[in-house]
Structure formats: C-alpha cells, structure tokens
Copies of this chain bind each other. A is one copy, B any other.
Amino acid sequence: SEVKKIAVIAGDGIGPEVVAEAEKVLKVIESVFGYAFETEHALFGGIAIDERGTPLPEDTLSICKAADAVLLGAVGGPKWDNNPKELRPETGLLGIRKALGLFSNLRPAVVFDCLKDASTLKPEVLEGTDLMVVRELTGGIYFGEKLRRQGEFGEEAVDTCVYNVVEIERIVRQAFEIAGKRRKKLASVDKANVLETSRLWREVVNKLAPEYPDIELEHVLVDNCAMQLLRRPSSFDVIVTENMFGDILSDEAAMLTGSIGMLASASMGEGSYGLYEPVHGSAPDIAGQGLANPIATILSLALMFRLTFGYEDAAAAIEAAVAEVLDAGHRTSDIAVNKSTAISTTEMGDLIAAAI
C-alpha cells in the first residue's frame, strides 16, 4: 500500500521519551501489517523557542502540511512560562491548530480497568463511563480580537468570542456522526441563556438534528454540565461544545475517569487529516528519567491509524497489546500500586511492541 507520511513532534519535557516508544510501535506495525510509513521530525514548542526563536517555525508547519497526520508528544514547561506571548509554547499550539485547520478536538474519556481506583469518584458512579468530548478548536474566544485600551475606569482588556454558522455546522455534524457510531446520544453544551454565540450554536444544532433522527439529543447548559459530569458521568456518550467550554469540560471529564495519564486525543481538520497527542502534559518534573508512561502516546498512534488512515486492524492490534501488557500486571510508576516494581518508559514500549 501507499506510503503514509507522519510528521513527528517530540516537543518538551517527557515528549521525546514517550514519542520514541510510539515510534517503536510504528515500526512493528509496519513489519507486522505491511503498511509503510515515512516519518519526519519537526521542532515545536519550547525547544523550538530555544533553538529557533519561535514556537512554530515555518519548516515545522511545512513538514506538518506535507504529512497525512501529525504525532505530538507534549509541549511547554516552567522555563517558558514567563516569556512574552510570541515566545510561549501555547502560542505555537494555537498557531498550529489554526494553520492546519484543526477545528475539532476529540477527547475520549474512558476508565481503564487497572486504574479504576485512581479516580476520586466512587467506583459505582464511574461504572460504565465512556464518553467523548468533541471540542471546537479554531473559533470562539480563543481566536477573536483581543485588545487593551483606556476606558472610563482605567485600563481595560477585551476578548471577543465569535462563531459563524459554518464553523458551528461542521463541528456539530461531526459530533452527530461520531454519536451515530457510538451509543447514539449527543449532549450539546452551551450557555444559551446568556451568550449570543450560544444561541446561534443551539439554533444550528436544532436545525441539523432532524437529519440525525436516530440520535438522542439534549441541550445542556455549561454550568449544569460541569455538575452532571460529576453526578452521572456514565450517562453521557458524546458531548459537543465550543472552544472555551470544551477546554474546561474535557479536562474535567478526563480527570474524573482517573485515567488521565492514559488518554489519547485527536485534533481533526478537513478530510481525514489529524494531529494526535496524549491528553497529559509535558511533566517537566519527571522528564529524562525514564519514568514517563508512553501508553497515552501509543494509544494516540492507534487513534491515528483508525481515524486518519482507516487501518482499523493496526489500531485494534495496538489497543489489544496495551490491554495485554496491563493485564499481565506491568506498570510504569505513575500507575503502579507498588512503585518498587514499576518498569521504565522504554520497558513499557518494548513490552507493547512485543505484544503486537
């Protein structure tokens, strides 16, 4: 089959370590399934600031654009936290989303059996929780006009939240379609009792709903959703919402599963183009020590195979291998009950690669 191009961004902190293990898995998939991949590494985030004076160098963008998908480790760290805006890793993150047109962020929140007890929620409440937050990623208050000015009461700051029907339609359609492949329930989250953008959002959702008669739709206000995620997490299937609400709710949802260190995410553009990354951050405190858990990054690769390449066999093989290694009791220190028996980042990568 055709050679697929993957741009690989290791990034900062534990990024390089976890990405290395995912690349190990990629090699195994090539030889076992006969798929062919070409990877190209690119600088991004803090390391790009250090080496190139910008978090998102032009050639990184070209490499990503030339690829079919991007695998990203993690970016950021305290080192760059006090930099001016143009020299911060987040600015690169927002820039790459916009430049690659990644308008949809898919954040599955599932409970891993071996991590059930890691959640702060009661097991009986968590039981059966398996939801997906579909977050709009290139609009809203993140990208609207921002400014400082002198007002009547001294200095003031302004952020603008803008959504148009096209932006709302494409993300909502995608959410309806994802729900159709899952448990057929969609919760659209907004603040329609206060925000004009939310009222437009709700109108668009209601306009599209008749095209998806088999999907059970509910509108949930964002404050209520923050509560219901705690009260009845297992009753949610797909949640679709705008950028800022999605930022907050997807993190809340991930955390309540107790499995946040193991979760993968996808940011999708037009067609099947996507950027895949673990939900966890760059964990600078443990970087370079072989302590990081590469599973979320390896599962991000599986998601890439499924969503961008349609290689369901490879995706399923990776997921099965991860399950097998966990079932056999292997743990990196973040998920080990007994830390003294914990294995290293590379050992975990080796075991998963071997299990495929």
Contacts and interface: CB of A to CB of B under 8 A. Distances in A.
A311 interface: no
Interface stretch (A119-127, A263-271, A337-345): A119-127
Main secondary structure of the interface of A (DSSP, over half): helix
Given A120-B231, A156-B162, A196 B146 contact: yes
Nearest to A146: B196
Given A224-B251, A248-B226, A160 B157 contact: no
A159 B153 CA distance: 21
A210 interface: no
B164 A153 contact: yes
Contacts of A248: 222-223, 226, 245, 248
B200 A148 contact: yes
A142 to B, nearest CB: 6
A141 interface: yes
Contact of A164 (B120, B156, B160): B156
Most buried by B among A120, A122, A224: A120
A256 B228 CA distance: 10
A66 interface: no
Contact of A162 (B158, B163, B164, B193): B158
A248 B222 CA distance: 7
A214 to B, nearest CB: 25
A197 B167 contact: no
Most buried by B among A154, A193, A247, A249: A193
Interface in A66-97: 88, 90, 94
Given A153-B167, A223-B248, A256-B230, A158 B161 contact: yes
Interface size class of A (residues with CB under 8 A): 35 or more
A32 interface: no
Given A147-B196, A148-B196, A163 B167 contact: no
Contacts of A193: 88, 90
Contacts of A3: none
Interface in A152-182: 152-167
A98 to B, nearest CB: 13
A252 interface: yes
Nearest to A155: B165
Most buried by B among A147, A161, A165, A224: A161
22 contacts: A90-B194, A120-B230, A120-B231, A122-B122, A141-B141, A141-B159, A146-B196, A148-B196, A153-B164, A153-B166, A157-B196, A159-B161, A159-B195, A222-B247, A223-B247, A223-B251, A224-B251, A226-B252, A227-B260, A244-B244, A245-B248, A248-B248
CB-based closest 7 A-B pairs: A156-B164, A157-B200, A146-B196, A227-B255, A153-B166, A226-B252, A120-B125
Given A191-B244, A223-B247, 7 more contacts: A120-B121, A121-B121, A151-B164, A154-B165, A156-B163, A159-B196, A226-B251
Interface of A: 88, 90, 94, 120-122, 125, 141-142, 144, 146-148, 151-167, 191, 193-197, 199-201, 222-224, 226-227, 230-231, 244-245, 247-252, 254-256, 260
